[in-house]
Amino acid sequence: MYLKQIDILGFKSFADKTQMVLGPGITAIVGPNGSGKSNIADALRWVLGEQSVRNLRGSKMEDVIFAGSEMRKATNLCEVSITLDNTDHHLPVTFEEVTITRRAFRSGESEYWINRQPCRLKDIHELFMDTGLGREAYSIIGQGKIEEMLSTRPEDRRGPFEDAAGIVKFKHRRKEAERRLEETAANLVRVDDILAELEAQLGPLAEARRVAERYQALSDEIEETEIALLVVEIDRLHDRYEQLKRQVHREEEVRGEALEALRLAEEAWKARRQALHEASANLEALQAQYVQLVEARQKAQGSLALSEERLAALAQRAEDRQRRKEEVSRDLAEIEAAMQALAQAEAEAAAALGERQQRLEHARARADDARRLELAEEIDRLSGELIDANQRAAALRNELKTLEERVQAGAVRHERFEEEARRIRAERERIEAACRERSARAEVLRRELEEMEAAFAALDLARERAAADEAQAVAAWHRLQADVQGLSSRLELLRDLEAGYDGYAHGVRTVLQQAKRGALKGVWGSVAEIVRVDRAHELAIETALGGALQNVIVETEQDAKDAIRLLKARQGGRATFIPLDVVRSRRMEAGLLARASQEPGFLGLASDLVSFDERFRHAVEHLLGNVVIAQDLDCASRIARALNHRFRVVTLEGDVIAPGGLMTGGHVNRRGPGLIGRQREREELEQKLQALEAERQRLNARQSELREQVVELGRQREALEAERASRLNELKQFEDENKQAAYALKALDERLEALEWERESLTQDRSQVERRLADVRGLVADAEREVARLTAAIGDRRERLVSLESELAEAKERLTGLRIEVATLEQERKNLSERMADLRERKARLVRAHAEMEREAARDAEESARLLSARESERAEAARLAEDMDALEQALASARQARHELEAEVHELEEGVRRSRRAVEERESVLQRALVAVERADAELSHALAKMGEQFGMTYEWAKTRYPLQGSVAETERKLEALRRERASLGDVNLGAIEEHERLSERVRFLTEQRDDLVAARAQLEQLIDEIDHEMATRFMETFQQIRSEFGKAFHSLFQGGEADLVLTDPSDPLTTGIEVVAKPPGKKLQNLNLLSGGERALTAMALLFAILRVRPVPFCVLDEVEAALDEANVARFAHELRLLAADTQFIVITHRRGTMEEADALYGVTMPERGVSSLVSVRLTDEIDYETA
Phi first, then psi: give them for residue 295, nearest 5 degrees: -65, -40
Q: Largest Cα–Cα distance in the chain?
A: 196
CB 410 within 8 A of CB 765: yes
**Amino acid at residue number 448:** E
CA–CA distance, 246 with 367 (Å, rounded to integer): 166
Q: Give which of 371, 362, 364 is closest to 808, Cα–Cα.
A: 371
383 annotated among ligand-binding-site residues: no
37 annotated among ligand-binding-site residues: yes
SS3 for 553? strand
34 annotated among ligand-binding-site residues: yes
CA–CA distance, 1154 with 1135 (Å, rounded to integer): 10
401 annotated among ligand-binding-site residues: no
**Residue 550, CB-side half-sphere exposure with 13 Å CA sphere:** 28
Q: What angle do CA 648, 654, 656 make, to 5 degrees?
A: 30
CA–CA distance, 683 with 415 (Å, rounded to integer): 111
SS3 for 85? strand
Antiparallel, parallel or unpaired: β 610-611 and 602-605:
unpaired
CA 418 to chain CA centroid, Å, is 76
CB 77 within 8 A of CB 104: yes
CA–CA distance, 942 with 948 (Å, rounded to integer): 10
39 annotated among ligand-binding-site residues: yes
Q: Give which of 550, 523, 549 is closest to 538, Cα–Cα.
A: 549
CA–CA distance, 1113 with 1104 (Å, rounded to integer): 13
Antiparallel, parallel or unpaired: β 110-114 and 97-105:
antiparallel
- CA distances for 716 relative to 80, 101, 113, 342, angstroms: 22, 22, 21, 96
**Residue 908, CB-side half-sphere exposure with 13 Å CA sphere:** 7
354 annotated among ligand-binding-site residues: no
DSSP annotation of 551 reads P
> 538-545 and 675-801 helices cross at what angle (nearest 10)?
160
1058 annotated among ligand-binding-site residues: no
| Burial of 718 (C-beta count, 10 Å sphere; 0-12/13-18/19+) | exposed
Sign of the CA dihedral 11, 15, 17, 23? negative
CB 608 within 8 A of CB 624: no
CA–CA distance, 948 with 950 (Å, rounded to integer): 6
Q: What is the DSSP string of 241-274?
A: HHHHHHHHHHHHHHHHHHHHHHHHHHHHHHHHHH
- CA distances for 399 relative to 320, 761, 828, angstroms: 96, 22, 64
The number of helices, as runs of H, and strands, as runs of E, in the chain is: 21, 24
CA–CA distance, 507 with 514 (Å, rounded to integer): 11
- CA distances for 339 relative to 15, 330, 421, 829, 844, angstroms: 99, 14, 82, 14, 13
Rg (CA), the chain: 64
Phi first, then psi: give them for residue 1016, nearest 5 degrees: -65, -40
CA–CA distance, 1075 with 1061 (Å, rounded to integer): 10
Annotated binding site: 32-39
Annotated binding site for ATP: 32-39
